[in-house]
């Protein structure tokens, strides 16, 4: 059996283990979805009438930002699960077994991906009940899914760094707060043109704005323009850098 086969087999087995933990505490997925849904309800029914977004319904305008907040909320549980495994000594037991060491991290990453996809489906279902509609073609929906998956992977590897480096359970999860807040300083909820100069500059040059604009245009069957390439560059760049530092932290942790 090749090294790749060992890695895939070990990762699949370890992913099954972490997924069982998630299914036994399904409340974590529900909790992840509740906060974005509450935000969506508040912005649409309380603030939506006062925000000018052109011909688009406000629920259609702001859903991409809510989806990114959902992901940012969900990855905090990845850091928490990883920290818990470290504290319980399970990593030391895994080291004594003939398994691929990186498979342990990939199991947490894949579990995060599955859990976040479920949360995103729940949020989109609620958005549809609230009036969200999209005439996007299958190819556009596949583009939306691809970007959301890539964004989830990028943030999850950041969560791995937090889980490996935190000194407490609280510290493992608190890193996600700035990520949850970042969409509020972007085009997610209001057009950047309405923002004062320095805030507008930051909003237009941070990763969330290009990702939100791309998702919004895909949903609306509009040209995505350069935003697509900027969004992909941000996601891939964060993913590569986070993966490198996560693996470095992991090697130091188990050395």
Instruction: Dump pLDDT digits (tens) for 132-168.
Output: 998 889 999 999 999 999 999 999 999 988 888 877 7
In angstroms, the Cα distances linking 70 to 42, 196, 221 are 15, 27, 23
Could you tell me which residue, 230 or 45, shows the higher pLDDT? 230
pLDDT of residue 140: 94
Residue given tokens 């320095």 in the structure block = 198
pLDDT tops 60 at residue 74: yes
Chain-centre distance for alpha carbon 127: 18
Q: How far apart are CA 10 and CA 106, in angstroms?
A: 10
pLDDT of residue 3: 47
Could you tell me which residue, 42 or 101, shows the higher pLDDT? 42
Q: Which residues contact 208 (CB under 8 A, 6 or more apart)?
A: 65, 68, 182, 183, 185, 186, 188
For 231-243, the pLDDT digits (tens) are 999 999 999 999 9
pLDDT of residue 128: 95
pLDDT tops 90 at residue 89: no
pLDDT of residue 241: 95
Domain locations in the chain as residue ranges? 3-254
Q: How confident is the model at residue 98 (pLDDT cuts 50, 70, 90)?
A: low
For 4-58, the pLDDT digits (tens) are 555 566 566 666 666 666 666 666 667 778 889 999 999 888 877 777 777 778 8
pLDDT of residue 1: 46
Average pLDDT over residues 202-217: 95
């Amino acid at each position: 059996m090749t090294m790749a086969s060992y890695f895939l087999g070990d990762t699949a087995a370890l992913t099954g283990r972490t997924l069982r933990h998630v299914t036994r505490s399904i409340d974590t997925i529900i909790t992840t979805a509740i906060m974005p849904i509450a935000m969506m309800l508040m912005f649409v029914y309380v603030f939506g009438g006062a925000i000018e977004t052109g011909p688009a319904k406000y629920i259609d305008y702001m859903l991409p930002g809510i989806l990114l907040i959902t992901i940012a909320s969900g990855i905090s549980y990845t850091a928490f699960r990883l920290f818990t495994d470290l504290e319980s000594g399970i990593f030391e037991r895994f080291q004594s077994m003939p398994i691929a060491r990186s498979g342990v991290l990939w199991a947490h990453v894949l579990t995060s991906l599955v859990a976040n996809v479920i949360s995103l489906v729940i949020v989109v279902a609620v958005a549809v009940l609230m009036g969200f509609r999209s005439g996007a073609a299958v190819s556009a929906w596949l583009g939306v899914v691809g970007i959301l998956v890539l964004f989830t992977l990028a943030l999850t590897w950041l969560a791995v760094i937090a889980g490996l480096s935190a000194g407490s359970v609280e510290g493992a999860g608190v890193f996600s707060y700035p990520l949850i807040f970042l969409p509020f300083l972007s085009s997610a909820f209001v057009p950047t043109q309405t923002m004062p100069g320095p805030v507008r500059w930051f909003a237009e040059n941070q990763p969330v704005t290009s990702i939100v604009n791309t998702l919004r245009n895909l949903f609306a069957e509009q040209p995505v323009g350069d935003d697509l390439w900027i969004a992909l560059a941000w996601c891939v760049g964060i993913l590569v850098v986070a993966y490198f530092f996560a693996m470095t932290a992991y090697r130091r942790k188990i050395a």
